[in-house]
Structure 1
Amino acid sequence: MKKFLVFVILLVCTTLFANNVVDSITLTKIKKLVQKEEEIAAAYKKYILEKGVNPTTLNDLKTANYLPKGFDIINPFGKQITIILDNNSTTTNKKDDIHKIRGFESTDPKLKSNLYDFYYSNKYRTHTKAPLSINNSNIEIILSSKERFMYENSSKITTTAPNNSTKTPKDSYYLDKNGVLHWYDSSGNYKYSFDKELVLDESVTLLNSDGSVNSNYKNLVKDIEFAGMTILYKKDAVAQEHVNIGSGSVVKVNQQTRDIGKTVIQFSRRAGGMIVNGDIYTWGNIANRIVGINQNKYTKDNGSLGSNYPVITGLVRARVKTYNSTIDNQNYFSSSLRPKFVDFFSTVFHSTCGISTKGELYCGGLASAYQKGFLYSNVDPSNPSVEMLYKSKDFDGTTDKKATKIFANDGFWLIFGNTDIDSNGNYKNGRIYRWGATSRGFGGNNSLNYSSTNISELNIEDNKIKVLFKDLTYLLTIGHRKIGALSNQGDIYIWGTDYTSSCSVKWENINYNLCIPIKITISNSTMNSLIKFESIQGGLDAFVAKSENGKYYKLSHPINKQIQVISVDEVIKTYSEYVAENDAEILSVDFSRKLTDTNKSNSSTGIVWVNSKNELKGDYFTTTNKDDKMFKDAIKQIKWKKIKVIQDDNGMCGIDVNNQMYCWGMMSYYGSDMRDTFMLPVFNTNLYDTNKDFLIVEGGNSNLTNMTSDEWSTTNSDGKTGAFFMKYPTYIGGFNYEFIFK
């Protein structure tokens, strides 16, 4: 009897243990099943956001790499998992469709008991909704409002990039790689972008004059609006913020605006300028009216009349014709209706040109310049009598006549225009236009010479496909000048010859035609593997290019050499001050000259960079301060974030983390007549001899009023004793802005 009792107890314990093991294994399988369903739902949602349509099978998700290649579509209980689109009762109405995963079904009562606590609970689910009951076991995929909108409007969504020339897409959304939807109307014109916020183009009228919401706007956004939606209304480069409060009503938020413009500064060997709050400010020798002052007369400090050209040492805001007679007739240049600018070009040769927020090109110097042959002159009116900036006839801001950037070499002008904006706010689909005359191959027309006062587009093809561009820039040191352009595809093209009288050359066994845009490839450069670039910046004798993976490169084409593509990361490793931990990330870089680079006909070999610790390193010395402890200590004291070399003798400027600008080195240039000038507005530096506190000095015939003396004077590489030399990093007053170096 005792043996029988022991046997019964043992049997009961074994059975209970076995049941517990079965329950534990079953629960593990159920947990894995829920995890699989969550993975599928997350992939399903991402597919809609990136493709604009819903996947129809799990293989769609696997093929497109939204699920791992080895993802098993058999659930832990040996059943196949499938996705279901439940059309409900109305197959033509996508709004009531439910996206589901076929749920797990079982007739085993013990298994169902285990399912209740885990499978039929939402506690462990994020992207899915648990079945309502055992009899209704399908799993619903939870779509966000945007995902549902994209599914419901999938027939109107394309992932093919817009084409400005063919005006496509039409009546459709373009879904970019960041998941932002951009609506183009029936004429192929862009109207708005929709993601978490609605960005509304200025061509759309949001509010009527009486403050009511415009009916066309209501109709345009009826499918996407919701209460609480933030609306950024793009108007004159400013996004005015509004909020949808429901029922088609819109209110402006605190009457505030978000500035989406940029603060731009340009330094060069030929003076410069800056844009602040949409206004252009310039300085320098006014022979060709870099500053809009219609006068050459001035009085010297001894009371006699000056015999050369006036050189302005402070900032002067440009006067601009508004083409509103009520304003212009009163010379009301500070009207709130004055044109605002987002880009400009300014030198003592070429006067000043600006690009307005509407894509209008304005240029000056036409009334009284010393040498008008350098100027862009196709403006309205053709022969202005008063000095100010006038609107171009070629780029007046209307459709297909919008400018984005402009610059010149000699009397030849290049205009980058008719661009679109990508989802990150960068330019794309830009075209390159030419105007004026050159004998340096800058026209890109397979000849050294180009001359035309009619605007023409420079057409560039790659494998018989037209190339469109993200950016256009140039090198400005005489003897090294070139044009550089960055294509939509991330390729860089360069052209122009400043050092040979022939277009066709053979350097290092590579044939080049310097008078047509050359696409930089592995076969014609020092590039070992294909690099795609995301940005390009001009400089003195080399381009700064940044690759799509965030690495910087020096691009140049020295005489008798193949095109040079040099990794900045590798160059800085050769410097004794290099520290791998700190210098692995570069915030800013430019190319300077080593103190041994005395022959300016040769390319520079120096470099300056700002690292992740906001330290400035490299060849930032001049011959005067290379051993100066005070100079070195000042450089180390400042926390830098940007650096720009602006003069061949290592004159440079940098911006610190507080947006304060410091400059040092030679800041004057000697030529003749209009070329004698300053790179900086001297008066803003508070750095000049006490008896030289002049707002106007004189320049001409290779003479320029000396502003500094003694230790603050030096001789430049051309043998000229400096008119304005900054021995130490010097704060430039009034330049406390987050500038973009142009």
Structure 2
Amino acid sequence: MNDIKSVIQKEEYISLAINKYILQNGKIPKKNDNTLDWDKLLTTDYLGTNFNKYNPLTKQSIKVIFDVNNNTFIKGVFESESSYTSELNYLYNFYINKIFRVNTIPPKDNTKSELAKGSQVLYNKIQKDIVNVINENKYKIFLPTQNCEVGNHYYELKNESLIYKFCKTSNTSIEVYQTSPVYLESLDDLKYVKVEIGEKAYVKDGISWYEYFYEGNGSWIPVGTGRTTGQINDEISIEDRILSYIPDSKDLVLKPDGGCMLANGDIFCWGKNVYKKAGIENYGQLDTTLKANYVNTPVMLKVQNENIKTKTTTLDLIGKKWYNNPYRVKFEKMAMNSKFVCGISPIFDYYELGIRYKKGGDLYCNGYIHSDDFFTETTGQTQTSILTKSKAVSIGKENGIFNQNSLYLKDIAMVEGTLSLLTDTGIIYTVGSNDKGALGIDNQSGLNIYTFQPQKVNPDGVIFKKIYALRDIKSFGALDTNNYFWIWGERPSGEIYYKPRILSNSKRFDQNGIFVNSKEFVLKGLDNKYYRTYLDTIKELNVEEGALSVSVYDFNGTEELLYVDKNMQLKGSSDFINCRDKDFNTCLSSEDNILFKDSFDVLNNLTNSVNNTLYANFSNISIFESNVNKNIVDYGTDYVENFENNSTAGWNVNYIVDGGTAASKFLGRLGKEIINTDTGSQAVFKTIDLGTSWANQNVKITFDMYEIGSWDANNYWADYLNGKSESFYVYINDLNVSRDIYSSDPNFDTKGGVDLDVVTSSYTQYAQKHEYSFTTTLDSGGKVKLGFGAILGEKYDNESFGIDNIRISRKIDNVNFTNGVYYENFEDGNHDYWIVPRGPVPFAERDFPYFANYPIYTGHNESTKFLGRFNRQSSGGDIYNGNSDGTQEVYKIFSFGSENANKEVKIDYDFYRIDIWRDVLGYTTDEFYTFINGTRYTTYRYSALDIGDIFTFNIPNTGGTLDNKHSFTKNAYLDSYGNIKLGFGAYIKDNYINQLSWGIDNVKFTLTGNKNPSSITPISSSSVKLPYICAMTGIGSASQMYCWGNVGRSIPILSTSLYDVGKINTINKLFITQESEKTKQMAFDNFNNSGSLFLKYPTYIGGFDYPFYFK
């Protein structure tokens, strides 16, 4: 039985090896006698050099043969029928069982004849196709690395596919069966190509492109005036060439509310249809009451008709309004803003009968245009979906004869309100608004200037060859013929350049390596390094040499960078190549992270081999900015006090200092001889009244403390502090909530800070800023008392502090769920936002050695570190660690963010009962309390209600008796801001911390999935700017576009297949959206962000399969 199992296993291995050999070589591994050529398989690529061919049943090497159709059979049990023996039927039955096979087909039954045939190798589909081609013996099979036979058809075996081709030269071939549309650089190649009948091809013939459709039987028919494959090129008139010319430019503009693309000479738009610029002139065809305020799929823009003369016939295109005619104007360049979509027609420059003709290079725009500036059908200001010719640019071109005074445009760039136009002679003209200096005419009148008469921009003697525009600010760029880069208009800093200025006289740039971004340009230098515009100069980017595409985006003060390296891999800021949620935070779901990574890796792994070099798939990359209309929680207006108005109203002190550029104005300087600094008691305070609308609200209080001068901690003998440390104290509602030691030597600081320039004169001129943040609950009148104190040994002119930038906000957001769970175990010593009793000041660590790290206590192996210990300190009334009077003395406001508003949580926590608590009838019962949002619950009562999971252990340096851990669980709802206040307290009568105490550990919040149906969160609508990524993959006709992030309406949702038809109630609303419904959800839940499209993973954008330049 073991022998038969071994044979089947070897047959499976042989089958896999044969399939692999056929796939990799396009040949069958057999000898002339139709037996297996073992030499081809016994290599490391297939079976390995140590494969054992021995068959334990036949006592010979395994025999493998091929039949006349090249099917493969492995003779596993015997080689001839004479070897059959009925005693081995149990083995034969096992051998023919299909259960034990995957890659081979067993004999049909256990008869002699079937067993003698052996098992058959199972060919996969591609192997079957290869074998069939070999059997037909009509065409040869070549690998991409092999030279084909010139003049013959053949099959190329590539990427597990057989591709039928024609061999033009030994290393040049044409794919015969293609998918429409077909693009070819030579008309002569068209006769070798076949597609479905009626499908199109675009073919370059000479300098022009022509359109053809496939009639079948190898016949291609020209549309318009293109010649057939047998015609001679020179017979076509120049007029016919102009009419059938198809530009090759591929431009893409993505704006927050829509976009346009230029492909094959036509402009397609989508998104916001204000002024009809997205191409929809009227209303819904099925429901005429619906306005097409937004268009959800690309629409080809109509172009103003002109009557066309072809040879002796004049075509009346104007009268027939045949906008989609084959003679329509095509475009070389395209741009857009919120009012217009504009295109530039091709230039045709030629001689005929000794006369120089020059046609085209005209400007066409749709949208919000005026009859003074464009050849409109109506007089005055109008709105039109039709691309209409500009009057100013067409002057002098009426008869087509070259006019040196006319403008022949070759490029266009647009910002909001302004167009930049480049002529073929290198002159830049601007039209539109001069807001932010966008006209570049050295006039600071701004919006007071608006003109559609072209304004010349060029500095004297400068000729330009390319122009550019940033996406989200009014800024233009241009590259001159000496490869210097110029810029004018608005800068991100707010500075305005009213005329072009050169950014660097020492750097020159590659016109094919200039990339437009949101608010900055990326420039590839002729030194092959990449730079970005930065303030009024440039700075080098950290990009590998040979990068193909680079993009930058400044997000929340951080420079984010992406680039495609020379091997077509996308690299750069991890924020943009890892999973991010709808608010651009790190994805919490492991499933989302895995799906994003898997999707991204398919595009970014080095899987394509060209000339023995591995490549990924990316060819172009750009970071875009979207505006997401989010329904956000209304937190109201924060309370802010920054002392810039010199007011100290409500404060018990009246000192304001101007800290200059380092700190501006602040409350201070506060120190010895100004306030009491002997004990750290509350010496500076104010009761802040936010009004009754803030009553009982949980809030976050933040402020800056300036440490000024030579604070010495406790290291300077002349301070006479008697062992006390120079410290800063914070009080909220008269409770000391914080105390930090500071020194001009940061090694002694208990809280980090940021060095400042000189804030004000002091002996040392040393200053640091320390940022503080606390949470608390306002009282029933919406008030809170905020106070400060200090221990300082020297006068205020040498040691002092200041207070600045006080802010009180309902928005706290201090914790986050991870996969629905939040957990604190205090092992890292962190107790941020916990409010604990700190006792009278000063606090001297030497008096309480076991509480040096209070409120974190290091206990037994079971308890490790925990929050504690708590109880009054002594009979003298010192309550360093609490009063244990039944009130809430320990608490924290946990704020999980508005996205978790009104959700239910399960709260788990451990209570440590340290030492022996008492239950003495008629005298006292010691109790432990839990507070949830201020409501007290008796959680533990010694003996009488000894509940919860109990674990007994011994915490060191306590009363010496056994201590207990009790685990408790409570359920509660988060409030309308996602907050919950969890607190604790105890009642312990006349016993102190050295006798008994308590602590808290392992606090855990878990979302239950339930929500409070009766609670309402205050909502307001706001536009949020968030980045998203779009990238091109592949090269040329193999290009595809992928995007991820908050694309909103920048990408047409119908191009993503992520629309949920269950959320769209009519067919019209699938294609168009009304203004009142612009934030209504159309996408599936996972891809919806407040009504905007959110691409959680790299997503293929259908219909954008062109090698776009991102404008």
TM-score relative to the length of structure 2: 0.35
Corresponding residue for 2:1051? Answer: 680
Query: CA 1:436/1:233 → structure 2, altered by over 3 Å: closer, same or farther?
Result: closer
Q: How does 1:238-253 map to 2 (within 5 A)?
A: 250=234
Match of 2:435 in 1: 439
Name 1:351's counterpart in structure 2: 340
Aligned to 1:539: 517
1:266 aligned residue (253, 275, 282): 253
Q: Do the aligned partners of 2:517 and 2:553 also contact (CA within 8 Å) in 1?
A: no
Q: Secondary structure at the match of 2:386?
A: coil
Q: Distance in 1 between matches of 2:547 and 2:260?
A: 27
Distance 1:698 1:361, change over 3 A: same
Runs of 5+ unmatched residues, structure 1: 1-229, 367-371, 420-428, 504-513, 523-528, 573-582, 669-677, 715-720
Separation in 2, partners of 1:635, 1:232: 41
Equivalent residue number for residue 734 of structure 1: 1103
Give the deviation of 1:405 after TM superposition.
2.5
Displacement of 1:250: 4.9
SS in 2 for 1:466: coil
Contact 2:1039 2:1105 in 1 (8 A): yes
Q: Distance in 1 between matches of 2:489 and 2:467?
A: 14
Q: How far off is 1:733 after superposition?
A: 1.2
Q: What is the alpha-carbon distance in structure 2 between the residues aligned to residue 567 and residue 232 of structure 1?
A: 42
Distance in 1 (CA, whole Å) between partners of 2:498 and 2:472 is 18
1:654 aligned residue: 1031
Q: Which residue of 2 aligns with 1:362?
A: 364
Give SS of 1:288's match: helix
- Give yes or no for contact 2:275–2:383 (8 Å, CA) kept in 1: no
Q: Is the 8 A contact 2:252 2:261 kept in 1?
A: yes
Name 2:528's counterpart in structure 1.
Answer: 550
1:333-357 Cα offsets, whole Å, 9 max, x none, are 121111111111234x123211112
**Which one of the candidate residues 599, 621, 637 is aligned to 2:602?**
637
1:310 pairs, out of 282, 285, 293, with: 293
Contact 1:232 1:242 in 2 (8 A): no
Q: Which has the larger radius of gyration?
A: 2
Q: Distance in 2 between matches of 1:731 and 1:430?
A: 38
Q: CA deviation at 1:501?
A: 7.5
Q: CA deviation at 1:545?
A: 1.3
Equivalent in the alignment of 1:724 = 1093
Secondary structure at the aligned position of 2:597 is classed as helix
Give the secondary structure class of the aligned counterpart of 1:415.
strand
Cα gap change, 1:460 to 1:309, in 2 (>3 Å): same
Partner of 2:437, secondary structure, is: coil
Residue identity matched to 2:488: W
Paired with 1:309 and 1:485, the residues of 2 have a C-alpha distance of 36
Find the aligned partners of 1:396 and 1:329 in 2 and give their Cα distance.
22
How far apart are 1:552 and its partner, in Å?
2.3
Tell me by how many angstroms 1:702 deviates: 9.5
Name structure 2 gaps, 5 residues minimum.
1-203, 212-223, 308-314, 347-359, 398-402, 588-592, 604-616, 627-1025
Going from structure 1 to structure 2, the CA distance change for 1:239 and 1:395 (only over 3 Å counts) comes to farther
Equivalent residue, structure 2, for 1:338:
328
Match of 1:58 in 2: none
1:320 & 1:471 partners in 2: Cα distance? 25
- For the 8 Å contact 1:297–1:310, the answer to whether it is kept is no
Q: Give, in whole Å, the separation in 2 of the partners of 1:588 and 1:385.
A: 38
Partner of 2:490: 497
* Residue 664 (structure 1) shift: 1.0
Q: C-alpha deviations, 1:173-195, integer Å up to 9, x for none?
A: xxxxxxxxxxxxxxxxxxxxxxx
Superposition deviation, residue 441 in structure 1: 1.1
Q: How many equivalent pairs are there?
A: 429
Which position in structure 2 is the counterpart of 1:467?
Answer: 462
* Pair 1:711 & 2:1091 matched: no
Residues 412 and 419 in structure 2, CA contact (< 8 A), matched pair in contact too: yes
Q: Which residue does the alignment assign to 2:978?
A: none
CA contact (8 A) 2:431 2:452 kept: yes
Q: Which residue of 2 aligns with 1:588?
A: 549
User: In structure 2, do the counterparts of structure 1 residues 611 and 282 end up closer, same or farther at CA, with 3 Å as the change threshold?
Assistant: same
Are the equivalent residues in 1 in contact too, given 2:553–2:561 (CA < 8 A)?
A: yes
Q: Over residues 384-427 of structure 1, what are the superposed CA-to-partner deviations in whole Å (9 max), with x where a residue is unaligned? A: 686411111122283432222334333222222x21xxxxxxxx
Who is 1:217 aligned against?
A: none
1:401 matched to 2:355: no
What one-letter code is carried by the residue in structure 2 that aligns with 1:468? I
Which residue identity lines up with residue 547 of structure 2 in the other structure? I
CA deviations over 1:424-469 (Å, ceiling 9, x no partner): xxxxx421112222321112232333524242333433xxx42110
**Map of 1:221 onto structure 2:** none
For the structure 1 residues 356 and 738, does the alpha-carbon distance in structure 2 shift closer, same or farther, using more than 3 Å as the test?
same
Residue among 521, 546, 549 paired with 2:504: 521
Letter in 2 for 1:363: C
Q: 1:501 to 1:346 in 2, by over 3 A?
A: closer
* Structure-2 change in CA distance of 1:269 and 1:385 (3 Å): closer
Q: Which residue number in structure 2 is paired with residue 101 of structure 1?
A: none
User: Residue deviations 1:649-700, cap 9 Å, x none?
Assistant: 22121111231111111112xxxxxxxxx10111111112232464334353
Aligned-residue offset at 1:533? 4.1
If each structure's strand is expressed as a fraction of its own residues, which one has the higher value? 2
- Over 3 Å counting, the alpha-carbon distance change for 1:242 and 1:492 in structure 2 is farther
Q: Does the 8 A contact of 1:341 with 1:355 survive in 2?
A: yes
> CA–CA distance in 1 between the matches of 2:570 and 2:464?
32
Say if 1:688 and 1:334 are closer, same or farther in 2 by CA, change over 3 A. same
User: What percentage of residue pairs aligned between the two structures are identical?
Assistant: 24
- Alignment of 1:292 with 2:669, yes or no, is no
**1:535-564 C-alpha deviation (Å, 9 max, x unpaired):** 43322011021222433221232xxxx42x
Q: What letter corresponds to residue 534 of structure 1 in structure 2? A: Q
**Are positions 1:277 and 2:264 aligned together?**
yes
1:258 and 1:305 map into 2 onto residues whose CA distance is: 40
Change (3 A) 1:236 1:403: farther
Residue 281 of structure 1: how far off its partner (Å): 0.7
Q: Deviations over 1:221-246 (max 9, x none)?
A: xxxxxxxxx99355899998999x99
The code of the aligned residue for 2:389 comes to: K
CA contact (8 A) 1:376 1:436 kept: no
Tell me the amino acid that sits aligned with residue 256 of structure 2: R
Residue of structure 1 in register with 2:389 after alignment: 391
SS in structure 2 at match of 1:550: coil
What letter corresponds to residue 1050 of structure 2 in structure 1?
Answer: M
CA contact 2:336–2:342 (8 Å) conserved in 1: yes
> Distance in 2 between the 1:259 and 1:415 partners?
22
Q: Which residue of 2 aligns with 1:208?
A: none
Return the match for 1:486 from 475, 479, 498: 479
Query: Secondary structure at the residue paired with 1:680?
Result: coil
AA paired with 1:447? N
User: Is 2:637 the counterpart of 1:663?
Assistant: no
1:105-164 deviation digits (Å, cap 9, x = unpaired): xxxxxxxxxxxxxxxxxxxxxxxxxxxxxxxxxxxxxxxxxxxxxxxxxxxxxxxxxxxx
> Conserved in 1, the CA contact under 8 Å of 2:332 and 2:344?
yes
Change (3 A) 1:305 1:704: farther
1:490–1:684 Cα change, 3 Å: same
Secondary structure at 1:329's aligned position in 2? Answer: helix
Superposed CA RMSD in Å reads 3.9
**Distance in 2 (alpha carbons) for counterparts of 1:395 and 1:304:** 37
Distance 1:730 1:364, change over 3 A: same
Distance in 2 between the 1:385 and 1:650 partners?
Answer: 32
1:93 — aligned with what?
A: none
Classify 1:287/1:242 alpha carbon distance in 2 versus 1 (closer, same or farther; 3 Å).
closer
Q: Name the CA distance, whole Å, in 2 between partners of 1:339 and 1:702.
A: 35
Where do 1:35-54 residues align within 5 Å? none
The change in CA–CA distance for 1:629 and 1:501 in structure 2 (over 3 A counts) is: closer
